[in-house]
Protein backbone atom coordinates (compact mmCIF):
# COMPACT_ATOMS: atom_id res chain seq x y z
CA UNK A 1 0.00 0.00 0.00
CA UNK A 2 1.32 3.43 -0.94
CA UNK A 3 0.49 6.22 1.49
CA UNK A 4 1.53 9.81 2.08
CA UNK A 5 0.38 12.91 3.89
CA UNK A 6 -0.05 16.50 2.76
CA UNK A 7 -0.98 19.70 4.57
CA UNK A 8 -3.78 22.13 3.89
CA UNK A 9 -3.88 25.69 5.24
CA UNK A 10 -7.55 26.47 5.80
CA UNK A 11 -7.08 29.82 7.51
CA UNK A 12 -9.24 31.14 10.31
CA UNK A 13 -12.62 30.67 8.62
CA UNK A 14 -15.04 27.81 7.99
CA UNK A 15 -14.23 26.14 4.68
CA UNK A 16 -15.07 23.47 2.17
CA UNK A 17 -11.62 23.02 0.62
CA UNK A 18 -11.23 21.10 -2.64
CA UNK A 19 -8.35 18.60 -2.31
CA UNK A 20 -9.08 16.64 -5.50
CA UNK A 21 -5.95 17.88 -7.29
CA UNK A 22 -3.70 16.79 -4.39
CA UNK A 23 -5.34 13.35 -4.46
CA UNK A 24 -4.81 13.12 -8.23
CA UNK A 25 -1.21 14.24 -7.78
CA UNK A 26 -0.64 11.44 -5.30
CA UNK A 27 -1.97 8.91 -7.82
CA UNK A 28 0.31 10.27 -10.54
CA UNK A 29 3.27 10.05 -8.19
CA UNK A 30 2.81 6.38 -7.38
CA UNK A 31 5.66 4.52 -9.07
CA UNK A 32 3.58 1.65 -10.42
CA UNK A 33 0.24 3.34 -11.06
CA UNK A 34 -2.41 0.62 -10.82
CA UNK A 35 -5.10 0.02 -13.36
CA UNK A 36 -7.59 -0.45 -10.53
CA UNK A 37 -7.79 0.07 -6.80
CA UNK A 38 -9.19 2.31 -4.08
CA UNK A 39 -7.96 5.69 -2.94
CA UNK A 40 -8.66 6.12 0.76
CA UNK A 41 -8.51 9.70 2.09
CA UNK A 42 -8.39 10.36 5.84
CA UNK A 43 -8.07 13.47 8.02
CA UNK A 44 -6.57 12.61 11.43
CA UNK A 45 -8.39 15.43 13.23
CA UNK A 46 -11.25 15.40 15.73
CA UNK A 47 -12.78 18.52 14.18
CA UNK A 48 -12.71 18.02 10.38
CA UNK A 49 -14.34 15.78 7.82
CA UNK A 50 -14.36 14.87 4.15
CA UNK A 51 -17.20 15.20 1.67
CA UNK A 52 -17.59 14.36 -1.99
CA UNK A 53 -19.68 17.05 -3.64
CA UNK A 54 -19.88 19.59 -6.42
CA UNK A 55 -17.98 22.82 -5.78
CA UNK A 56 -18.08 26.25 -7.35
CA UNK A 57 -21.81 26.24 -8.10
CA UNK A 58 -22.96 27.03 -4.56
CA UNK A 59 -23.04 23.52 -3.09
CA UNK A 60 -19.98 24.19 -0.94
CA UNK A 61 -21.60 27.32 0.55
CA UNK A 62 -24.89 25.41 0.92
CA UNK A 63 -23.08 22.71 2.91
CA UNK A 64 -21.58 25.31 5.26
CA UNK A 65 -25.02 26.93 5.66
CA UNK A 66 -26.67 23.57 6.41
CA UNK A 67 -23.98 22.75 8.97
CA UNK A 68 -24.48 26.18 10.58
CA UNK A 69 -28.20 25.35 10.92
CA UNK A 70 -27.49 21.89 12.35
CA UNK A 71 -24.52 22.93 14.49
CA UNK A 72 -25.01 26.54 15.63
CA UNK A 73 -22.11 28.63 16.87
CA UNK A 74 -23.29 29.30 20.40
CA UNK A 75 -22.58 28.16 23.93
CA UNK A 76 -24.86 25.09 24.03
CA UNK A 77 -21.91 22.73 23.58
CA UNK A 78 -20.43 20.90 26.57
CA UNK A 79 -17.02 20.78 24.90
CA UNK A 80 -16.03 24.36 25.67
CA UNK A 81 -12.41 25.18 24.96
CA UNK A 82 -11.42 27.48 22.11
CA UNK A 83 -13.64 29.97 20.32
CA UNK A 84 -17.37 30.28 20.99
CA UNK A 85 -19.22 27.23 19.73
CA UNK A 86 -16.02 25.22 19.25
CA UNK A 87 -17.76 22.12 20.61
CA UNK A 88 -19.77 21.88 17.39
CA UNK A 89 -16.55 21.19 15.49
CA UNK A 90 -16.13 18.05 17.58
CA UNK A 91 -19.62 16.87 16.52
CA UNK A 92 -18.90 17.52 12.82
CA UNK A 93 -17.12 14.17 12.13
CA UNK A 94 -20.28 12.30 13.16
CA UNK A 95 -22.11 14.05 10.29
CA UNK A 96 -19.26 14.56 7.82
CA UNK A 97 -16.92 11.61 8.39
CA UNK A 98 -13.13 12.02 8.48
CA UNK A 99 -12.66 9.59 5.59
CA UNK A 100 -13.67 8.96 1.99
CA UNK A 101 -12.90 6.13 -0.42
CA UNK A 102 -12.92 6.61 -4.20
CA UNK A 103 -12.47 3.92 -6.87
CA UNK A 104 -9.42 4.17 -9.12
CA UNK A 105 -10.05 2.94 -12.67
CA UNK A 106 -7.40 3.03 -15.40
CA UNK A 107 -5.13 4.94 -13.00
CA UNK A 108 -7.59 7.81 -12.43
CA UNK A 109 -10.15 8.71 -9.80
CA UNK A 110 -13.58 7.42 -10.83
CA UNK A 111 -15.49 10.48 -9.66
CA UNK A 112 -18.74 11.64 -11.24
CA UNK A 113 -18.73 14.59 -13.62
CA UNK A 114 -19.12 17.28 -10.95
CA UNK A 115 -17.80 15.42 -7.91
CA UNK A 116 -14.82 16.73 -5.98
CA UNK A 117 -13.11 15.49 -2.79
CA UNK A 118 -13.35 18.22 -0.16
CA UNK A 119 -12.01 18.85 3.32
CA UNK A 120 -14.77 20.30 5.52
CA UNK A 121 -13.44 22.37 8.40
CA UNK A 122 -15.54 24.42 10.83
CA UNK A 123 -12.73 24.84 13.36
CA UNK A 124 -11.50 28.42 13.10
CA UNK A 125 -8.95 27.73 15.86
CA UNK A 126 -6.85 25.33 13.76
CA UNK A 127 -5.62 26.77 10.46
CA UNK A 128 -3.43 23.80 9.46
CA UNK A 129 -4.79 20.38 8.54
CA UNK A 130 -3.14 17.12 7.57
CA UNK A 131 -4.62 14.74 5.03
CA UNK A 132 -3.48 11.13 4.52
CA UNK A 133 -4.04 9.49 1.14
CA UNK A 134 -3.53 5.75 0.75
CA UNK A 135 -3.76 3.66 -2.39
CA UNK A 136 -5.07 0.11 -2.05
CA UNK A 137 -4.26 -1.79 -5.22
CA UNK A 138 -6.86 -4.31 -6.22
Dump pLDDT digits (tens) for 58-114: 999 999 999 999 999 888 878 778 777 788 889 999 999 999 999 999 889 999 999
Per-residue model confidence (pLDDT) at position 47 = 93
Measured CA to CA, the distance from residue 68 to residue 70 in angstroms comes to 6
Q: Which fold has domain 2-137?
A: Jelly Rolls (2.60.120)
Question: Per-residue b/e over 35-59, b at no fewer than 16 CB within 10 Å?
Answer: eebebbbbbebebbbbbebbbeeeb
Measured CA to CA, the distance from residue 107 to residue 105 in angstroms comes to 5
The structure's pTM equals 0.93
The pLDDT of residue 34 is above 70: no
The pLDDT of residue 30 is above 90: no
Q: What percent of the chain has pLDDT over 90?
A: 71
What ranges do the domains of the chain cover?
A: 2-137
Helix or strand (DSSP H, E) at 27: helix 20-29
Amino acid sequence: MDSEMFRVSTGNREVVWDITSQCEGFLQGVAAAPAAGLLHVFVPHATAGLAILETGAGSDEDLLAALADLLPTDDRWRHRHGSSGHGRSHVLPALVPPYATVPVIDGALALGTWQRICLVDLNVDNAERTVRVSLLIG
